[in-house]
Amino acid sequence: MPELPEVETVRRGLLPVMEGRRIEVAHVNRPDLRWPLPERMAARLTGQTVTQLRRRSKYLLADLSSGETLIVHLGMSGRMLISGVTLGQFHYDHPAPDKHDHVVFEMEDGGRVTFNDARRFGAMDLWPTATLEDHWLLNRIGPEPLGNSFNEDYLVTAFRGRRTPVKAALLDQRIVAGLGNIYVCEALHRAGISPRRLAGRISEPRARGLVPIIRDVLSDAIEAGGSSLRDYRQADGELGYFQHTFRAYGREGQPCPTAGCTGTIRRIVQSGRSTFHCVTCQR
């Protein structure tokens, strides 16, 4: 499932095509994705201008001139693909229609944004912008890890007394928004912290040091266009490249890349999710 860097990369790719542009026509080709789509969704989108394109955690948020916001979750295989536009030196022609093109936005300048989702685990909803934080998908999400609210003091307080493994704590969207399995594994490896260690047993200096490491991992991943493991593509259809620099995730049995470490990367299962770590240098 796309994590924060992938969704942020998609948002940035969509900006020149959607933000400040009017949706000439919206086509909604099925009544549901993971859940039923909003009533009269096509009519409510058609003719509206996207005043701002934002991200909250793993959700894309398109604020509309109607006073509503379109909430988009990519799910496991969802893609927001652009066509019919020239960006930089490249022109992206309209592709042939695909049976998994579930929602299509025809923009005023001839551009097109297509939500394609083969597995239909994605989701969309429309909600009044003024009360967006009350939406059930968003109302319990913690601070953004690249924002000012996620700082050293906050994480120290959030970890205090917690008797859950630190990996589970960082995956808890109520503690920090947008982190998923890949980037938690990578951040803990860079920090030298065992994913098994209880969050409440991490010393204050180590918890403080984890904050800039999380920021660096996410920033590096965004710079690389995210990680493409199965279905993820950027808005222009290109792959992300951060997977080529993984230090831990997916590297079971390979030597630990930490300088001076003689260990190997091992895989364990925590809460049904694969965790990759080095038992030698992660303590």
Burial 4-24 (b: 16+ CB within 10 A, else e): bbbbbbbbebbebbbbebebe
186 flagged as catalytic: no
Structure token digits, residue 22: 């009017």
273 flagged as catalytic: yes
Query: What element of type H or E holds 79?
Result: strand 79-83
Rounded to whole angstroms, the Cα distance separating 252 from 115 reads 34
Catalytic residue among 2, 5, 145, 165: 2
Q: How many CA atoms lie within 13 A of 169 on its CB side?
A: 24
Rounded to whole angstroms, the Cα distance separating 163 from 146 reads 26
Catalytic residue among 21, 58, 79, 112: 58
Catalytic residue among 3, 8, 68, 186: 3
Rounded to whole angstroms, the Cα distance separating 98 from 78 reads 13
Rounded to whole angstroms, the Cα distance separating 222 from 267 reads 25
95 flagged as catalytic: no
Catalytic residue among 12, 34, 215, 273: 273
2 flagged as catalytic: yes
Catalytic positions, written as ranges: 2-3, 58, 273
